[in-house]
Amino acid sequence: MTDFGLVDEAVDETTHVVSLRGEIDAVTAPRLGSRLFGLADEGKRGVVVDLTDVTFMDSTGIGVLLNAVRHFDARHAELVLVCSSDLILRPFQLTGVTEHLNIVESREQALGCLA
């Protein structure tokens, strides 16, 4: 099992980056969900979730991200995912949720989406 890590980085008053490391599964996904919902509730207008260093993502993690997107949408805010790994992107594609998520390949692209 790979250690889970979550690093927060404020870009400015309304934009935030959450970088993840390791496995996102039933054990670690609640921590991710709590942080994302907290950022939306704090009034962040744009959040980037960087999955670059994620080694595994199960359906629990996908569910948390979909719920977070809905939570941000309800607040007229945006959540963008950074995913350059086919291994991590594949579950999103197989479940057909890519049309509900804004997924880009780099942090720079993600921040550009929020500008």
Question: Is pTM beyond 0.75 here?
Answer: yes
Please tell me the distance from the alpha carbon of residue 1 to that of residue 7, in angstroms, as a whole number: 19
- The model's pLDDT over 69-89, given as tens digits with 9 standing for 90+, comes to 999 999 999 999 999 999 999
Per the listing, tokens 């993600």 go with 110
Please tell me the distance from the alpha carbon of residue 74 to that of residue 24, in angstroms, as a whole number: 24
What phi and psi values does residue 93 have, to the nearest 5 degrees?
-70, -45
Q: Name 23's bridge partners.
A: 56
Is residue 2's pLDDT more than 70? no
Quick one: pLDDT band at residue 3, thresholds 50, 70, 90? confident
Quote the pLDDT of residue 83. Answer: 97
| Mean pLDDT score, 9-27 | 96
Q: Using an 8 Å Cβ cutoff, are 57 and 93 in contact?
A: no
